Structure formats: structure tokens, C-alpha cells
Structure 1
Amino acid sequence: MFDEEKEDSQEYWRLQFDLLKVDPRVWAADSDSLMRSFNLLAEQHTRDLGDNIRRAVQSAGAPVPRIPEIGANAMMLGALAMEVLFKGIALSQREVQESLAREDKAVAKRLWSHHLSDISALAGLELTGDELAICRQLEIFATWAGRYSTPKWAKDMEPLRRSPWTGVTTPPNMYSNVDFVRIRNLNARYRPLLPKMPDVRLGLSSGR
């Protein structure tokens, strides 16, 4: 009896998995959550910068307690928000759904990755040059720079990329508050391609 219940349960969760995996509302909700988390950290990072300047002036050169830097973590969350958004858009395409149903390994490898520029192409999006540039930058923060000071391989630390905005060659894990704006602009342009999440009732009575 237990084995039959277990098998029924496994079948139920397999069905749920198959349904939720291609439901654009699920991807929209996840992307919105990550985007909110990104905004909270990005705003706090901006406040920290101002606080550090004020503390430096007030301390007159004396040591002050260290405030942990969270800007790179914000970049990682922005990267994941856009990655999830692009994956949701890609999974809304019938061609992508059919490829996954056929267990097309090439499509699956492209989709289940952190390569935002490739996922966006799979979703049929035509990104501008600036959008591709911020996506490639976000890939770095999604894979390592948002979590670690060093990547898995030394070669990934080499300052090989030239900023498309300044023309200066910079380390791959460099960022600025302007990048936060670019992430918000990228999200604002492509978020409407997934369903808007409905308003909810919180269940609080206003009868008194």
C-alpha cells in the first residue's frame, strides 16, 4: 500500500513539475521577487556609500568600523532576476517547449545556464548593443563575482573586457551604481512580455 501511495505521490509531483516549469506566471513571480531583492540591496548599497563618505569626514582619518560591501550581491540578484525573466520568456515559446519535450540536449544546455545573452536569443529577443553588454557583465556576477572575490580559474580574473560605455579596460567584477539603473531599464523593457501578477486580498477586515 505504501509503495502505491509513494508512486501516486511521485506521479503527482512529476505532473506539478511539468506544469509549473512552463507556466509563465511562475517565472514572472520568481523574477519579480528577485528584482525586489535586487532593488533593496542596491538601494542599501547606495546609502552605504553616502554613510562611508560622512564617516570618513567625521573621523578625520581615524579608523572606523567596516561596513560589509553588498553592491556585488545586488548585481548577482539583478543578474538572476533577468536570467529568470528571459527563461520564462523562452519557455513561453512553443518551439522551446517542444524541444525540451523531445529532450533536446542542445536547447536544454542553452536554457539551463547563466548565459543571459544566449538565453535571450533562445527567447527570440533582439537586444541592443548596450543591453548585450550589461547581460555579459551580469553573467560574470551570476557565475562568481556576486558570491566570491575570486573565480574558479585565474584566467577569469583577467581584465580582458573593455567597457562599452567608458572605453576603459576594467576587471570583470567591476561595477558602478549606473549599472543598477541599466538593470532596471532592462527589466522594464522585457518584463511586460510575461503576465502581470494579479493584486491579492490580504484578508484583513476593515469593518471597524
Structure 2
Amino acid sequence: MSRRRTPITKELPKGFANDTYRKACAEPFPWLVKAREMRRAADLVWAQFSSELTAFASGGDDSGEPFTGSVAVMLYAFALENLLKAGLAAKGVAVGPNGNFALKSHKLEDLADDLALTLEPDERELMERLEHFLEWAGRYPIPLLAEALYPRAMLDGSKAAMYGLSSGDRVRVDALLAKVHATLPTEEEALVRYVRTIGA
């Protein structure tokens, strides 16, 4: 039996929270800030992973601590998801007819297609890999289905699992994030719009 959830207080009005939610749903600014937050955390975790990997390769790392590369890539994937949703919010398609947030998918390729981004085949392959880290490989030891573990025929001719890590992943992810970011309003532009909306 699950514990009862903490009840919502009846003394304070919920109208302000509901109004703030509806306005924030439709704005790119909160998504851009969260993407930057995720990116910063990912950079820190990746730097630790890279340092430990270098030490391990030279025989100098005997800490016994687990590598954090999959967690870093998961955070990069979340940063990308937030950027894509920022773009869709800027286009005015983030809120459904009922006033609730409509972009519930974590499928990065689908979000990119909804944003009408032009992607190269290798960028699509990278997005598919990032989805694996976002959905399970950065969070859990196994996926829901064994199929996610099956090796794939990669564009470079290799056969590899989608959740495998490469030392070159950081450069490829950086390039993809930069490409998506270039299609979005700047954080300053988004902030001006956000302040106007919240104040309306």
C-alpha cells in the first residue's frame, strides 16, 4: 500500500498557481534556463568521467567507483529535450486545447521533426542514442524490453548497442546542441517575452 500523498492546502487560493502554470507552459524561457542547467550539470559529470577514464586507461584509477558517463549523456539528452521544447513553446504549440502542457513525449526525433529541424542521418542516429540514455540507460541498469539491448547496424558500418559510450560523444553532442540552439530565440529575447506574459 502506498503512502497517502501530502494534501493540497485549502486555505490558499490555487488560481495564482494555475495561472502561472498556463502562462509558463507556453513560454520558451523556462525551457531554455532548464536546458542550460542540465547542460552545466552534464559538463561537470562528463569532465569527471573523462578524467577517471583517462586515469583508468593509464592504470592510475583504482578508486573502485562506477563511471558516470551514462549519467552525463542522460543529462545532455535532457538538455536537448528542453531546447526542443523551448522551440516548440516559441512556436505556440506547447499548450493543448485544455490549457495543459501538450509536449509530453521524450522522443527527441519526433520533437525535432515537430520543430521542422533539418537533421543529417548521423544527427538522427545520435538523437536515437540519446533517447536510450534519457529513457533508461542513464537511470536504470536494464531497459523495459530486451530489444533495447540488441546491437544495431550503425551508419559508420559498425555493429553496436545504442547505449554504448564513446570518448567522442561529447563533441558530437555539443555540435547537436549548438545546431538546435541556433534556431531558438536567445535567452534574453525569451526573458523579455516571458516577463510580458507573466505580467499580463
TM value normalised by structure 2:
0.81
Q: Does 1:123 align with 2:110?
A: no
What stretches of structure 2 of length at least 5 have no aligned partner? 1-8, 189-200
Contact 1:90 1:124 in 2 (8 A): no
Offset of residue 76 of structure 1: 0.3
**Match of 1:79, as an amino acid?**
A
Contact 2:38 2:79 in 1 (8 A): yes
Offset of residue 134 of structure 1: 0.6
1:121-158 deviation digits (Å, cap 9, x = unpaired): 11121212121111011000000011122111222212
Structure ranking higher in helix proportion = 1
CA RMSD of aligned residues (A): 2.3
The 2-side partners of 1:26 and 1:193 are apart by 17
The 2-side partners of 1:127 and 1:162 are apart by 19
What stretches of structure 1 of length at least 5 have no aligned partner? 199-208
The 1-side partners of 2:165 and 2:153 are apart by 13
Partner residue in 1 for 2:65:
67
Contact 1:28 1:195 in 2 (8 A): no
The 1-side partners of 2:28 and 2:109 are apart by 20
Partner residue in 2 for 1:188:
178
**Match of 2:139, as an amino acid?**
R
| Equivalent residue for 1:102, pick from 97, 105, 112 | 97
TM value normalised by structure 1:
0.78
Partner residue in 2 for 1:204:
none
CA distance 1:192–1:172, shift in 2 (3 Å) = closer
**Match of 1:143, as an amino acid?**
E
| Equivalent residue for 1:27, pick from 20, 28, 31 | 31
**Match of 1:87, as an amino acid?**
K
The 2-side partners of 1:197 and 1:87 are apart by 14
Q: Secondary structure at the match of 1:177?
A: coil
Partner residue in 2 for 1:52:
56
| Equivalent residue for 1:133, pick from 121, 125, 135 | 125
The 2-side partners of 1:189 and 1:142 are apart by 20
Q: Which has the larger radius of gyration?
A: 1
Contact 2:106 2:131 in 1 (8 A): yes
The 2-side partners of 1:81 and 1:138 are apart by 11
Partner residue in 2 for 1:89:
87
CA distance 1:135–1:70, shift in 2 (3 Å) = same
Contact 2:28 2:85 in 1 (8 A): no
1:97-129 deviation digits (Å, cap 9, x = unpaired): 4xx332499x93xx3121000001111212121
Of all paired residues, the percent bearing the same amino acid is 27
**Match of 1:168, as an amino acid?**
S
Q: Secondary structure at the match of 1:68?
A: coil
